[in-house]
């Protein structure tokens, strides 16, 4: 048996690496993706090899993650339950896809992940694997083994000589990538408790954020952010740049109670300055260039798209069809937005586009006005006709009764 394990090098997956070899008499290949801050790949390789890994993969997936996962979600304006920009959720189908590809390349018959039985991520990993390689066996050690606590895992690690860095563990569970950070557990499990300041990892509090407002300009080309303040950036660098600027101004803190897929509610914090800024900016271009019906239809899609991502249905037919719609409407979203960042606020200060449908002569209340005021009378007459007919019927019925 040969297994490809999604491996972070943390306690759970380090223990899983050994446990899989013992329990399944398997050869285990580890796979680690860098989609955030970076990884000490030499250290990770040494650690995995010491714990018996047959082969170690470490890859920088930031570019692919940005282009193929973040960008579609941005074009969709996808926010789960209106708030969560889906950073963690978006990363899972990518990692699972690479697990599948490596399993094929290495002739492995199984893949394994370190998700618990209570979260959304197990669903996202496994649905992706179902979609791409339905015959692969999936193993989730944390759902199988008897160990119930961190202490038991540490004991297992000691017993088997597994090197785990025994740093003082943060009371929170944190998942981080370039699009955002997810924070849960500890005191946060009480939804009525304000998050302690130490729960936030990158953003300034309102109190500590810069006292002066900062203006920024973001230029989009067909829905893709290309320039910041007139300077060209690749997508990953632009996201990182906005993350740092937004964090200084205390932008992108989200505190929510969300509905998990597996039926429970959970309280989660998110920090996603770049996601908040870019979603806001792109929306402003959309407001200029999309006609009313298309814009309203897109608003309906945003919600559905966010659900699909959250539910792990990235490789579903509906998601693909929605992408086609979104790519079509974003042929028009080229233009620039000016934003004012200040004390946790991201305020639009201006927007322009060559594709703008805004017609000043039509909109103005000045003498330059070319709008046909007389036509409005007929429009209202016919638009309101059904209401009139209904009201006439009611009053007619009353008269008859009398
Ligand atoms: N609730 C978020 C989601 O389902 C984040 C999950 C991971 N969070 C964490 N703190 N480890 O996508």
What's the rounded mean pLDDT across residues 369-387?
97
356 is catalytic: no
pLDDT band at 167 (very low <50, low <70, confident <90, very high): low
| Residue 168 reports pLDDT greater than 80 | no
* Average pLDDT in the chain: 96
Q: Is the CB of 311 under 6 A from ligand 1?
A: no
92 is catalytic: yes
For residue 182, report the distance from its CA to the centre of ligand 1, in Å: 5
pLDDT band at 38 (very low <50, low <70, confident <90, very high): confident
C-alpha span between 128 and 120 (Å, rounded): 13
For residue 177, report the distance from its CA to the centre of ligand 1, in Å: 12
User: Is the distance from CB of 88 to CB of 122 less than 8 angstroms?
Assistant: no
Share of the chain above pLDDT 70, in %: 99
| C-alpha neighbours within 13 Å on the C-beta side of residue 372 | 6
Q: Is the CB of 174 under 6 A from ligand 1?
A: yes
What's the rounded mean pLDDT across residues 344-352?
98
Q: What are phi and psi of 175, to 5 degrees?
A: -125, 130
Q: Is the CB of 14 under 6 A from ligand 1?
A: no
State in words which class domain 175-352 has.
alpha beta
User: Is the distance from CB of 115 to CB of 337 less than 8 angstroms?
Assistant: no
234 is catalytic: no
Q: Is the CB of 12 under 6 A from ligand 1?
A: no
User: Is the distance from CB of 3 to CB of 26 less than 8 angstroms?
Assistant: yes
* Pocket probe mutation, ligand 1, options 69, 80, 85, 88, max atoms within 8 Å of Cβ: 88
- Report which protein residue has its CA nearest ligand 1's atom 4: 120
Q: Is the CB of 120 under 6 A from ligand 1?
A: yes
C-alpha span between 359 and 326 (Å, rounded): 25
The CATH number of 2-71+79-166 is 3.40.50.620
Q: Is 312 helix (H, G, I), strand (E, B) or coil?
A: coil
What's the rounded mean pLDDT across residues 203-217?
97
Place of tokens 């399944």: 24
- Report which protein residue has its CA nearest ligand 1's atom 8: 182
pLDDT digit string, tens, across residues 233-258: 999 999 999 999 999 999 999 999 99
Q: What is the DSSP letter of 80?
A: B
For residue 48, report the distance from its CA to the centre of ligand 1, in Å: 25
pLDDT band at 398 (very low <50, low <70, confident <90, very high): confident
* Pocket probe mutation, ligand 1, options 94, 121, 275, max atoms within 8 Å of Cβ: 121
The answer to which of 97-101, 128-132, 149-153, 320-324 has the lowest mean pLDDT is: 149-153
Which one of the listed residues 92, 124, 267, 351 is annotated catalytic? Answer: 92
Alpha helices in 292-347 (DSSP H): 292-310, 317-329
C-alpha span between 356 and 289 (Å, rounded): 5
12 is catalytic: yes
For residue 371, report the distance from its CA to the centre of ligand 1, in Å: 51
Question: What per-residue confidence (pLDDT) applies to 347?
Answer: 98
Q: Is the CB of 261 under 6 A from ligand 1?
A: no
For residue 115, report the distance from its CA to the centre of ligand 1, in Å: 11
Which one of the listed residues 14, 121, 124, 351 is annotated catalytic? Answer: 121
Nearest Cα neighbor of 315 from 96, 84, 113 is 96
C-alpha span between 321 and 209 (Å, rounded): 42
Nearest Cα neighbor of 74 from 335, 305, 289 is 305
Question: What per-residue confidence (pLDDT) applies to 103?
Answer: 98
For residue 386, report the distance from its CA to the centre of ligand 1, in Å: 49
Q: List the beta bridge partners of residue 350.
A: 338
Burial level of 261, CB count in 10 A (0-12/13-18/19+)? Answer: middle
Q: Is the CB of 181 under 6 A from ligand 1?
A: no
Q: List the beta bridge partners of residue 271.
A: 181, 253
C-alpha span between 119 and 69 (Å, rounded): 21
| Residue 74 reports pLDDT greater than 90 | yes
User: Is the distance from CB of 128 to CB of 103 less than 8 angstroms?
Assistant: no
pLDDT digit string, tens, across residues 120-143: 999 999 999 999 999 999 999 999
Question: What per-residue confidence (pLDDT) applies to 166?
Answer: 58
What distance lies between CA 301 and its chain's CA centroid?
Answer: 16
């Amino acid at each position: 048996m040969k297994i490809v394990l999604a491996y972070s090098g943390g306690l759970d997956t380090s223990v899983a690496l050994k446990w899989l070899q013992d329990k399944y008499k398997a050869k285990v290949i580890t796979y680690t993706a860098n989609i955030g801050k970076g990884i000490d790949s030499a250290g990770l390789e040494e650690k995995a090899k010491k714990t018996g890994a047959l082969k170690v993969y470490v890859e920088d997936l930031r570019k692919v993650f940005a282009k193929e996962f973040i960008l579609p979600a941005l074009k969709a304006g996808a926010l789960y339950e209106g708030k969560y920009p889906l950073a963690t959720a978006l990363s899972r189908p990518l990692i699972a896809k690479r697990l599948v590809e490596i399993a094929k390349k290495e002739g492995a018959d199984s893949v394994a992940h370190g998700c618990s039985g209570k979260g959304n991520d197990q669903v996202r990993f496994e649905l992706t694997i179902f979609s791409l390689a339905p015959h692969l066996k999936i193993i989730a050690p944390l759902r199988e083994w008897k160990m119930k606590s961190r202490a038991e895992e540490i004991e297992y690690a000691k017993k088997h000589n597994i090197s785990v860095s025994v740093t003082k563990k943060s009371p929170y569970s944190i998942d981080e990538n370039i699009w955002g950070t997810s924070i849960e557990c500890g005191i946060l499990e009480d939804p009525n408790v304000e998050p302690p300041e130490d729960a936030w990892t990158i953003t300034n509090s309102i109190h500590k954020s810069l006292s002066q407002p900062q203006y920024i300009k973001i230029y989009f080309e067909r829905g893709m952010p290309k320039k910041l303040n007139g300077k060209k950036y690749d997508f990953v660098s632009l996201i990182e740049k906005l993350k740092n600027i937004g964090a200084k101004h205390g932008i992108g803190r989200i505190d929510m109670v969300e509905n998990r897929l597996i039926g429970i509610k959970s309280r989660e914090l998110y920090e996603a300055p770049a996601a908040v800024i870019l979603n806001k900016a792109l929306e402003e271009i959309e407001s200029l260039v999309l006609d009313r019906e298309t814009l309203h239809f897109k608003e309906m899609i945003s919600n559905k798209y966010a659900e699909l991502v959250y539910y792990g249905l990235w490789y579903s037919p509906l998601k693909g069809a929605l992408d086609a719609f979104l790519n079509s409407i974003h042929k028009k979203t080229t233009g620039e937005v000016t934003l004012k960042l200040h004390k946790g606020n991201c305020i639009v200060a201006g927007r322009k586009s060559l594709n703008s449908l805004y017609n000043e002569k039509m909109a103005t209340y000045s003498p330059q006005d070319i709008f046909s005021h007389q036509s409005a009378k007929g429009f209202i007459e016919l638009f309101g006709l059904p209401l009139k007919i209904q009201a006439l019927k009611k009053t007619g019925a009353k008269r008859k009764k009398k």
